[in-house]
């Protein structure tokens, strides 16, 4: 699978965050789908092909940890990373135990996120 076949769902209630990640991921060649909350993202996951989910944890229209759990209930083997600003009611170990790949503080290293996307979807690593 090449990068232009990878579709990443970016879930964040802040438009600016969605746009920053979207721009960086598009430069990398990924297809981008955006959602402003977990409930909207869950409908997208149910109705579109998504290869990877990057989601904020705390959002008014459905939080990212609940989204992770709902995706797992659908039996989708969909790699997912959660992002948190400051304090979150969820820990990294809880995210991993629920099937997420990792929990990062905002702002994360975008190259590290790109590497995780490539590794989880294609097995390919970024050059150091």
Interior CA angle at 94 toward 92 and 95, to 5°?
Answer: 65
Show the domain range for 9: 1-53
Instruction: Give the CATH number for residue 40.
Output: 3.40.50.2300
8 Å CB contact between 106 and 94: no
- Domain for residue 12, yes or no? yes
Burial (CB count <10 Å: 0-12, 13-18, 19+), residue 76: middle
Answering whether pTM is above 0.75, one says yes
- Domain for residue 41, yes or no? yes
Number of domains forming the structure of the chain: 1
Pairwise pLDDT comparison (123 vs 43), residue with the higher score = 43
In 1-128, at which residue ranges do the beta strands (DSSP E only) sit? 7-11, 31-35, 52-56, 80-84, 102-105
- Domain for residue 92, yes or no? no
Interval 32-91: pLDDT, tens: 999 999 999 999 999 999 999 999 999 988 899 999 999 999 988 899 999 988 766 888
Strand order in the sheet with 7-11: 31-35, 7-11, 52-56, 80-84, 102-105
Question: Which residues are paired to 55 by β-bridges?
Answer: 11, 82
């Amino acid at each position: 699978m090449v990068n232009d076949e990878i579709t990443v769902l970016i879930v964040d209630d802040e438009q600016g965050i969605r746009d920053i990640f979207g721009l960086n991921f598009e430069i990398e060649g990924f297809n981008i789908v955006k959602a402003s909350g977990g409930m909207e993202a869950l409908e997208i996951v149910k109705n579109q092909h998504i290869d990877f989910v990057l989601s904020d944890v705390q959002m008014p229209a459905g939080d990212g940890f609940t989204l992770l759990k709902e995706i797992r209930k659908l039996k989708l083997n969909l790699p997912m990373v959660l992002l948190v600003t400051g304090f979150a009611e969820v820990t990294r170990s809880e995210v991993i135990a629920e099937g997420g790949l990792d929990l990062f503080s905002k702002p994360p290293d975008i190259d590290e996120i790109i590497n995780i996307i490539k590794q989880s979807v294609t097995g390919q690593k970024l050059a150091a």
